[in-house]
Amino acid sequence: MFQRLHQPLCYIVIGVSCLFSALSDASTQYLSADAYIDVENGVRVENPLVTIEAGQITKVSTDSQPPPNANVIKLSGYTLLPGLMDMHVHLTGNADDHGYKSLAISLPRATINGVNNARKTVMAGFTTVRNVGADGYADVALKDAIDAGDIVGPRLFVAGHSIGVTGGHCDNNLLPSDYAATGGGVADGPWAVRAKVRENIKYGANVTKICATGGVLSKGTKVGVQQLTLAEMQAIVEESHMRGLTVAAHAHGTEGIYNAIKAGVDSVEHVSFLNDESIELAKQNGTVFSMDIYVTEYILGEGEKAGILEESLAKERTVGKRQRENFRKAVEAGVKMVFGTDAGVYPHGDNAMQFARMVQFGMTPMQAIQAATINAAALLNQSETLGSISAGKHADIIAVKGDPLSDISLLESVGFVMQSGKILKHSDSPDQ
């Protein structure tokens, strides 16, 4: 321990306070880079020096020098950003196991896939993700293992079972009735769906995911048609909010989107067949949109090989196009947006591919970065501790070579990842 005490005075005055200050100095880290993205003010700031103590950012200054002999990580040529946050992933799902292929994946195998995918996700710069639906509470197990430091992965917000109606998008409709295959979150009626929220909470969920409409990848569902009734969604929202959980609603169809917003959900996912009324209501209520506009390229390009059913491919051919048009409309109208990809439908670790599409369809690079940082933190009610590089927040910091504001695709190659002050990836470091 004594070699960690840099201050010579400590050898002479082994007073308690001196010992403490010496120890904290030894554990203080400094991070310097060409610039950092200040997502709170929407600007790129040059020559930052970030001070990190006990996993937290304690100071962000510019043009200042670290103390002599300090532990400084110099990232020259790099821009620092807050750790990225993806609000719509399925860590236990793999991109090549769609349709009937998914039936061959056991729950333990899916959980093991999740361990692998959690690592890929954090190494791609996503230090926090919201997992919106998993069988058998595998997402809760992943969260617990990550929190305990047993495996490496993003900070997780987890939904447990996605809640939806019999035969709906959140059910398993692949097999005939002989097999009695039913999704864990399937329920019908306001009290029954409310009970599902309680069950999810009992087993460790800290967000709620519902299926308001049909979907693309579910067999036999009409993508544009509402499934949960308004009364069912209101019951879910009331119960979730009372227990301190936010609600994410899968909704493609026009009425389903509108009624989910009306019921008071916190975010609407996909939002494909959006109309002006829903844009207005979302703005009034502060409802956030999470629009996965990259995944269509994977589904239409690789989906058939991956087992996606022809009926799903047919649905995707209209959904993807409409969703991108409506993404532009929502951005122009000023709806609050977060970054959500549906990774798991396409390969984990490729989450950042969506940034370039968000810019192509109407966002500035800064808006796209804010969607994946400060806006996501606000949606999760974590603005105090996540979402920006500023004093008092967790030291979840990533870095890319160059300036992501002039080339947003740089976020596809993250060279440095720090989570809670711990370096998980440092491409320029000789021992990585």
CA dihedral sign, ordered 209, 398, 24, 65: negative
Q: Please say which residue, 30 or 346, places its beta carbon nearer to ligand ARG.
A: 346
Side chain identity at residue 180, one-letter code: A
Q: Which stretch in 36-44, 46-54, 281-289, 313-321 sits in contact with ligand ARG by CB under 6 A?
A: 313-321
Q: Shortest Cβ contact with ligand ARG: which residue?
A: 215
Q: Which of 217, 251, 306, 331 binds ligand ARG (CB under 6 A)?
A: 217
Does 323 sit near ligand ARG (CB under 6 A)? Answer: yes
For residues 385 and 393, give the distance between their C-alpha atoms in angstroms, rounded to a whole number: 4
Cβ atoms of 386 and 394 closer than 8 Å: yes
Does 270 sit near ligand ARG (CB under 6 A)? Answer: yes
Q: Please say which residue, 270 or 401, places its beta carbon nearer to ligand ARG.
A: 270
Angle formed by the axes of helices 276-285 and 310-333, nearest 10°: 60
Q: Quick one: tokens of 293?
A: 């506009």
Q: Please say which residue, 192 or 225, places its beta carbon nearer to ligand ARG.
A: 225
Does 261 sit near ligand ARG (CB under 6 A)? Answer: no
Q: Which of 246, 296, 326, 375 binds ligand ARG (CB under 6 A)?
A: 296
Q: Which of 25, 316, 350, 412 binds ligand ARG (CB under 6 A)?
A: 316
Q: Which stretch in 181-189, 228-236, 291-299, 411-419 sits in contact with ligand ARG by CB under 6 A?
A: 291-299
For residues 201 and 208, give the distance between their C-alpha atoms in angstroms, rounded to a whole number: 9
Cβ atoms of 187 and 195 closer than 8 Å: yes
Shortest separation between residue 130's beta carbon and ligand ARG, angstroms = 14
Does 135 sit near ligand ARG (CB under 6 A)? Answer: no
For residues 31 and 89, give the distance between their C-alpha atoms in angstroms, rounded to a whole number: 30
The count of residues interacting with ligand ARG (CB under 6 A) is 13
Q: Which stretch in 23-31, 130-138, 189-197, 318-326 sits in contact with ligand ARG by CB under 6 A?
A: 318-326
For residues 150 and 166, give the distance between their C-alpha atoms in angstroms, rounded to a whole number: 37
Residues in 329-368 at the binding interface with ligand ARG, rule: CB under 6 A: 342, 345
Shortest separation between residue 85's beta carbon and ligand ARG, angstroms = 19
Shortest separation between residue 216's beta carbon and ligand ARG, angstroms = 4
94: closest CA among 58, 134, 41?
Answer: 134
Shortest separation between residue 331's beta carbon and ligand ARG, angstroms = 16
Cβ atoms of 217 and 308 closer than 8 Å: yes
Cα angle 356, 36, 408 (rounded to 5 degrees) comes to: 10
* Residue partners of 429: CB distance under 8 A and separation at least 6: 423
Q: Please say which residue, 206 or 326, places its beta carbon nearer to ligand ARG.
A: 326
* Residue partners of 350: CB distance under 8 A and separation at least 6: 124, 343, 412
Does 292 sit near ligand ARG (CB under 6 A)? Answer: yes
* DSSP 8-class letter at 287: P
Q: Which of 320, 340, 349, 365 binds ligand ARG (CB under 6 A)?
A: 320
In the block, tokens 């690079």 appear at 365
Q: Which stretch in 188-196, 319-327, 352-360, 374-382 sits in contact with ligand ARG by CB under 6 A?
A: 319-327
Q: Quick one: tokens of 284?
A: 């009034």
In the block, tokens 């967000």 appear at 207
Side chain identity at residue 204, one-letter code: G
Q: Which of 37, 193, 235, 319 binds ligand ARG (CB under 6 A)?
A: 319
Torsion angles phi and psi, residue 322, rounded to 5: -65, -40
Shortest separation between residue 351's beta carbon and ligand ARG, angstroms = 14
Residues lying near ligand ARG in the complex (CB under 6 A): 215-217, 270, 292, 295-296, 316, 319-320, 323, 342, 345
